[in-house]
Amino acid sequence: MRAAVLHGIHDLRVEELAAPEPDPRQVLLRIRRAGICGSDIHYFEDGRVGSFVVTAPFILGHEVTGEVAAMGEGVDGLCLGQRVVVNPARQCGQCDYCRSGRGNLCRRVRMLGSASTKPPTNGGFCQYLAIGAEQCFPIGPEIDDETAAMMEPFAVALHAAHRAGSLAGKRVLVTGGGPIGLLAIIVARTYGAATVALSDPVENRRAMAAKVGADAVLDPTAAGFSDEVARLTGDGFDVMFEASGSPPAVRQAFEVIRRGGTLVQIGSIAQPEIALPVNQLMVREIQFVGSFRYGNVFEEGVRLLAAGRVDLRPLVSDVFPLAQAPQALVVACQRDRVVKVQIDLN
């Protein structure tokens, strides 16, 4: 099979490899579409994501959709040809975190297309992928490949929404208009937020946010920012999704959030520490909560997509065939210009 293998910084090669075989309880997927995530870009640009360093060549990619091409023993609930979306994180299913519904915190989780293991775990920028049947969620023809390959980042936003508690009728601010921030806007709208604003210093992103449903877009560096917040919310936002990973955005959150409000951190932060006004958190009873990947939201996401409750296609800005995976990565690196770049394997 053909696969896009990362050999080093800026060294992605499309190669011929042997297709994997499914183990018991696994299926073999023929990949149809795959999206490029920020972590793929980090591996490609920096050879690492945080402390996970690329020490051996591996196949990138974990935002995938495909169809069942073969099944190992003991698989039920799936059949040949079934199209599926994929949860790329395999949880142990047995530890205290998994048993209590917080499998995303499982210490034995194993992620597709990741250098967190040694050797790295292969991902899905390839024609065939062997994966646990329980990581696959069936979809019907009403969900196209483009949308289906957005399920994984959509799951990040859905999980963050649940971490925030209810968004119903709330005033919501998203900071950072990259793919996850835009998806947070879409989810906040879908889940009933009465006001959804985006704050981002980059004009392109603000325009994109307005396009996917933000009621207001703010430039956090502009003079009238605080007045605009007051005009929109009175006493501040009920809920904030911090999707930029930028220290000034995290700090600013404590100024624009309402007493009793909730700040959800989704964006990865490169800096080891950020100076924060903790006394404000105390006297205003703020909840500052982390949101990491996704819990059990894939079936929920499929239901929303199947019912047409959300449209994720405006976020797909560029599509390349597998043979042009290296170019796709280069384009994906231009973050202020593109939103989501996908690889088409059909």
Question: Which residue reads 């309402």 in tokens?
Answer: 258
Q: In Å, what is the CA distance from 40 to each residue of 63, 136, 144, 255, 293? A: 10, 21, 23, 34, 15
Q: How far is the CB of 67 from a copy of itself (least distance, A)?
A: 21
Q: Do residues 47 and 9 touch, judged by C-beta distance below 8 A?
A: yes
Closest CB 108 distance from a copy of itself, rounded Å: 10
Torsion angle (degrees, nearest 10) of CA 48, 41, 108, 166: 130
Q: Return the residue of 70, 130, 210, 269 that touches a copy of itself, per CB under 8 A.
A: 269
Contact string (CB under 8 A) for a copy of itself, positions 271-310, x = contact: xxxxxxxxx-xxxxxxxxxxxx--xxx-xxx-xx-xx-x-
Nearer to a copy of itself, 197 or 341 (CB): 197
In whole angstroms, how far apart are CA 68 and each of 14, 62, 64, 76, 81? 23, 17, 13, 12, 5
For a copy of itself (CB under 8 A), the number of binding residues is 70
Sign of dihedral through CA atoms 159, 164, 167, 173?
negative
Among 102, 116, 319, 330, binds a copy of itself (CB under 8 A): 102
CB of 28 to a copy of itself, least distance (A): 18
The site map against a copy of itself for 43-82 (x = CB under 8 A) is: ----------------------------------------
Return the range that interacts with a copy of itself (CB under 8 A); candidates 1-9, 114-122, 149-157, 265-273.
265-273
- Check: CB of residue 136 under 8 Å from CB of residue 210: no
| Residue 199 beta carbon to a copy of itself: minimum distance, rounded to whole angstroms | 17
**Which residue lies nearer to a copy of itself by CB, 6 or 180?**
180
Q: Give the nearer residue to a copy of itself in terms of CB position, either 100 or 223.
A: 100
Token pair in block for residue 325: 């995976």
Binding mask 183-222 for a copy of itself (x = CB under 8 A): -------xxx-xx-------------------x-------
Beta-carbon contacts of residue 143 (< 8 Å; ≥ 6 apart): 83, 85, 302, 305, 306
Residue-wise DSSP of 110-169: EETTBTTSSSPBP-SSBSEEEEEGGGEEE--TTS-HHHHTTHHHHHHHHHHHHHT---TT
100: contact with a copy of itself by CB under 8 A: yes
Minimum distance of a copy of itself from residue 316's CB (angstroms): 22
Q: Dmax of the chain from CA atoms?
A: 63
With left for phi above 0 and alpha for psi between -120 and 50, is residue 305 left, alpha or beta? alpha
Is residue 104 a contact point for a copy of itself (CB under 8 A)? yes
| CA distance linking residue 54 with residue 58, whole number of Å | 8
Comparison of 77 and 224: residue with beta carbon closer to a copy of itself: 77
Q: Cα–Cα distances in Å, from 264 out to 162, 198, 275?
A: 10, 14, 17
Instruction: Tell me how far, at minimum, the Cβ of 339 lies from a copy of itself, in Å.
Output: 22
Q: Minimum CB separation from a copy of itself for residue 4, in Å?
A: 27
Question: 315-344: which residues touch a copy of itself (CB under 8 A)?
Answer: none
| Interface residue list for a copy of itself (CB under 8 A) | 93-94, 96-105, 107, 134, 158, 161-163, 165-169, 171, 190-192, 194-195, 215, 250, 259-260, 265-269, 271-279, 281-292, 295-297, 299-301, 303-304, 306-307, 309
